[in-house]
Amino acid sequence: MAGFVFLGNPQPTYWTISMHWSDAVVNGITVTGVVTQVREYDGSQALVTLNTGVSVVVPATHEPVPGDAIVEGELSI
């Protein structure tokens, strides 16, 4: 999502809004969804993007792949 603000100059200033959370609980709701992208994996946790557009860090003993499920904040095997 992008927006612009005119600050008196002829060119707008652009910014983007990024949805990234550092936990599998977002606004008090435990996240459930299907992995669409694996952004990072360090051997113990993974930053993944879900089909809902939410990015979360989840504990992961193996590297997740697109199509894996996150159920109540946990990688489902």
Q: Report pLDDT for 29.
A: 63
pLDDT tens for 4-57 read: 444 544 544 444 444 444 455 555 666 889 999 999 999 999 999 999 888 888
Residue 64 lies in a domain: yes
| Domain containing residue 63 | 19-76
What is the amino acid identity at position 5? Answer: V
Q: What's this model's pTM, rounded to 2 decimal places?
A: 0.64
Q: Is the pLDDT of residue 67 over 50?
A: yes
Residue 8 lies in a domain: no
Q: How many domains does the chain have?
A: 1
Q: Is the pLDDT of residue 2 over 50?
A: no
CA angle 28, 34, 37 (to 5 degrees): 105
Residue 69 lies in a domain: yes
Spatial CB neighbours of 50, under 8 Å, sequence gap ≥ 6: 31, 33, 34, 35, 36, 56, 70
Residue 50 lies in a domain: yes
